[in-house]
Amino acid sequence: MRDRDDDFHPKIEETRLKELQEVVRKQRDRTLEKEITKKLVNLYVSQGEYFKMGDKPDLNIAKRYLEKALQMQKDHPVANYRLGYLYYRRREYTKAVSFFERALDGSMEEDLNDTQRMLANMFLVNCGIKIAKEAIHEINFIEDNVYTELEIERIDRYKNEILVLDEEIFNKMFYRKIENGKEETIGEYEFINFKSDKNQLLLKRSDHGSEIHFNNFETVSLNPKAFYTLYGIVTAKGFRTYRELQEIASNGSGQEVNDDYIRQIILRLSRDLPYWGHIIETTSIIHSESRRPIAAIKLADGYSACIVCRVEDYLPDYQ
């Protein structure tokens, strides 16, 4: 989703398209009606993304827009994918599964891109695990409370077919830690209570959003583009150019990010983070083709970074 143009007013555009749609219906112009419907659907999908991922997200409004899109095109892959994500975040996993499956099925004219397809499959796996975890919890509850009423022999026979009965194993399937280029799975307790080492920057993603932690300074919330920009900076083995950060932020957030926006993000971070000047190093390097100096940035020597996030969180592989 591109940043909004000040001259673009979604409500006005929606009204215009609906009026035009009514006119062409009366004219029975099927081709033009299909074209206008597609524009309306794309408008609703983009609005859904705006209210889901903006600086001030409103998931209820996002849900309404995505439902409008699906009322007009039930098999729209991106609308299904994003609505599935909203249900996933609301812990309504059974509903989320149906939307992710529809998203993966795609439509005659459109399909998910590779990143969305990968994430949809990851969300499906997690939905299955979470549904299974809830079922295991229910099994244990029933056994503890009314075990004498069960056919013990029959229950034990079927329990042997269950792959996992340990709730702690399920918890370790949802979170991961990336530190010094190495990734490991961690449990829910460690994820919630994780504290970074001294001189270590911590980037954290959870159901509540993205944050940056450093020593005893106040925690600062990050929007998706800022998170992926910082991710690109702190995971670099050397200096990284703004053009490289633009690619990382665009790929990670699923939204188009231009060079100027990267500069705005870095300027904002330098103002919001009092320790920025100590942990971040900037320089100029010579562009290989133009031979002109360009800005580059990296984590300063003596500092390290750690990222903790959910298993399904997409982290571009730009090491």
pLDDT tens digits along 147-156: 555 566 666 6
Quote the percentage of the chain above a pLDDT of 90: 32
Among the ranges given (77-86, 154-163, 274-283), the one the predictor scored with the smallest mean pLDDT:
154-163
**Rounded Cα distance, 46 and 79, in Å:** 9
Q: Any idea which of 8-17, 75-84, 219-228 has the lowest mean pLDDT?
A: 8-17
pLDDT tens-digit series, residues 27-59: 777 777 778 778 888 888 888 777 666 556 677
Spell out the residues 6+ positions from residue 89 whose beta carbon is closer than 8 angstroms to its own.
Answer: 59, 207
pLDDT band with cut points at 50, 70 and 90 for residue 188? confident
Residue 7 has pLDDT above 70, yes or no: no
How many CA atoms does the CB half-sphere of 267 hold within 13 Å?
6
Average pLDDT of span 276-286: 91
Judge whether residue 216 has pLDDT over 70: yes
Give the pLDDT confidence score for residue 8 in this predicted structure: 47
Query: What tokens does 198 get?
Result: 């001294």
Calpha distance 52→31 (Å, rounded):
32
What pLDDT does 2 receive? 40
Contact (CB, 8 A) for 37 and 73: yes
pLDDT per residue as tens digits for the range 65-111: 899 899 989 999 999 999 998 998 888 999 999 999 999 998 878 88
The 3-state DSSP class for residue 151 equals: coil
Please tell me which residue, 276 or 55, carries the higher pLDDT value. 276
**Using 50, 70 and 90 to split pLDDT, how confident is the model at 169?**
low
In the chain, where the domains are located: 175-310
- Asked if residue 96 lies in contact with residue 87, where contact means CB atoms within 8 angstroms, the answer is yes
User: In angstroms, rounded to a whole number, what is the distance separating the alpha carbons of residues 264 and 281?
Assistant: 17
pTM, whole model, 2 decimals? 0.61
Mean pLDDT (whole number) for 285-303: 85
**pLDDT score recorded for residue 110:** 83
Q: What is the architecture of the domain spanning 175-310?
A: Orthogonal Bundle (1.10)
CB 270 within 8 A of CB 263: no
